Structure 1
Amino acid sequence: MHPIRIAYLTAARSAVTLLADPAVAKEWDAASALAEFRVGGLAGHLASQILAVPGVLAEPVPPGEPVGLLDHYARGTWLGAPVDDEVNVGIRRSGERIAADGPAALLAAAGAAVDDLSAALPAEPDGRVVHLARGPWSLALEDYLTTRLMELAVHSDDLAVSVGVPTPELPAEALDPVLALLARLAVRRHGQPAVLRALSRAERAPANVTAF
């Protein structure tokens, strides 16, 4: 199986373990570390990085070449959008809707989806392309899973901080693609010198090299 598929499943299982932490249910209705997001809604958004994948795998793929990974982000309307922008309001509403039945139901759904994907992803052929209907555009499966892998890693940290538990640590084979993607996005946003200095020269490091 392709390493990105393995990495994605590793991060998905880690996210399910985090969702099972009693602190998540305890803080369900509290404010999260993200502006305007309840813990429950953030948990729903984290789980959506698992729950949405089967639907994407089932989506018909129209003719045409898939876009590249960085092109996918260049087309995204949420990058840089303020917290009250329609796209971010929609993301929060979606998280709340997914989490509407409570922490136990969300955990069960996410766990079942990981089990299904553990069987489905190895069976997908090399060169598989998926279509993102909300784009609308297509991506190579591995590029799509890289986007979900990054979301799982970043929002696991958000959720862990929100409920006061340690951030789950992923093995290098799962974290390295996330760091590579974030670094590429940061270079595109801030330029090579800024990112190089942030990583190597404290005396010249810029104040901000965030990818988003």
Structure 2
Amino acid sequence: MPPAKKRTRSYDPVKTRAAVLTQFAHVREAVARLAPDALERPTRLAGWTVYDLAAHLARAVDVVARNLAEPAPAPGRPEVTLPDWPFATATATATATATAAAAPDTRPDLAALYADVAARTERLLPDAEDTRLVRTVLGTMTLADYLVTRTVELCVHTDDLNDAVPGLDIPYDRQALAACTRLLADALAVKAPGGSVEVRIPPYAVVQCVEGPKHTRGTPPNVVETDPLTWLRLAAGRRTWADERDGGRVSASGERADLSALLPVLSR
């Protein structure tokens, strides 16, 4: 359950839409050049192959287009907001894992799947209102907010694919990685509200968190700093705090600057 206190951040919906489409195009191009044997490689997600990840990414974007093709839910207050989403993703993960376990003879052709998703999304997304509600397995969200969550799906699973297939090297759209980084950083601040620790993830995010004395000027007494990809790996549970700090990918100073008990922030 997420804490009661929530932080909100504004996202430019035009940039978010472009980021989702661009990152999806990067993934589509990379998946198209995977050899059949590469699709059967295991990934760091238990029970998931590269094929499963690739198909999941297509479906994670397709849910937007399929929503837009259906009548919109009645206008009203969304059931899920961005501060809620990271703490409710266990339900979505269970659904995705069940889908990934489908028998091989029911698996769609990836090239056709990606082409279909791209065509549907590019046709329906441009004219959709940002405030339109869309249905998700977690509840209704505004389209603008839901697209921000798609940057997390795309960036985290892009990293999963790059990890599973050496040399694949799918690039990250800058705006997609920025939105992903910021949402996961804000989730940490929601999970551990306070102002005693400053977490810096240049060039995209700075948040304060953890109860305790709050600094008002100068250098904070407790500072954590890392890069965006290391942060998403920590926030999504792909790497441990100890490994990333010992490997020099996290800098942490101050007696309160140990985030190990607060990670990951995604419920998956």
TM-score of the pair, normalised by structure 2: 0.64
- Structure 1 or 2: larger helix share? 1
Shift of residue 207 of structure 1? 5.0
Shift of residue 89 of structure 1? 4.5
CA RMSD of aligned residues (A): 2.8
Q: 1:118 to 1:133 in 2, by over 3 A?
A: closer
What secondary structure is seen at the aligned counterpart in 2 of 1:139? strand
Q: Is the 8 A contact 1:32 1:39 kept in 2?
A: yes
| Residue number in structure 2 paired with 1:52 | 63
Q: Which runs of 4+ in 1 moved over 6 A?
A: none
2:131 to 128, 150, 153: 128
What secondary structure is seen at the aligned counterpart in 2 of 1:143? helix
| Residue number in structure 2 paired with 1:175 | 177
- Structure 1 or 2: larger strand share? 2
Query: What are structure 2's unaligned runs of at least 5 residues?
Result: 1-12, 200-222, 227-250
| Residue number in structure 2 paired with 1:84 | none
Q: 1:78 to 1:20 in 2, by over 3 A?
A: same
| Residue number in structure 1 paired with 2:252 | 202
1:117 aligns with 2:121: yes
Equivalent-residue separation in structure 2 for 1:4 and 1:187 (angstroms): 22
Q: 1:133 to 1:42 in 2, by over 3 A?
A: closer
Percent identity over paired residues? 25
Equivalent-residue separation in structure 1 for 2:165 and 2:198 (angstroms): 31
Q: Deviations over 1:35-80 (max 9, x none)?
A: 2222222222122112222212234313421242112344x2507x
Structure with the bigger RCO (C-alpha within 8 Å, sep 6+) is: 1
Q: 1:77 to 1:161 in 2, by over 3 A?
A: closer
1:107 corresponds to which letter in structure 2? Answer: A
Shift of residue 146 of structure 1? 0.8
Equivalent-residue separation in structure 1 for 2:69 and 2:22 (angstroms): 22
Shift of residue 133 of structure 1? 4.9
Q: Deviations over 1:72-124 (max 9, x none)?
A: 344x2507xxxxxxx64432221344975557x11221123113312321111
Equivalent-residue separation in structure 1 for 2:131 and 2:253 (angstroms): 45
Q: Is the 8 A contact 1:19 1:43 kept in 2?
A: yes
Equivalent-residue separation in structure 1 for 2:196 and 2:105 (angstroms): 45
Equivalent-residue separation in structure 1 for 2:103 and 2:74 (angstroms): 28
Query: What are structure 1's unaligned runs of at least 5 residues?
Result: 80-86
Shift of residue 210 of structure 1? 3.5
Greater displacement, 43-52 / 199-208: 199-208
1:91 to 89, 96, 99: 96
Equivalent-residue separation in structure 2 for 1:98 and 1:112 (angstroms): 21
Shift of residue 189 of structure 1? 2.5
| Residue number in structure 2 paired with 1:161 | 163
Q: Is the 8 A contact 1:44 1:98 kept in 2?
A: no
**What is the total number of aligned residue pairs between the two structures?**
200
Q: Rg bigger for which structure?
A: 2
TM-score of the pair, normalised by structure 1: 0.79
Q: Is the 8 A contact 2:162 2:169 kept in 1?
A: yes
| Residue number in structure 2 paired with 1:39 | 50
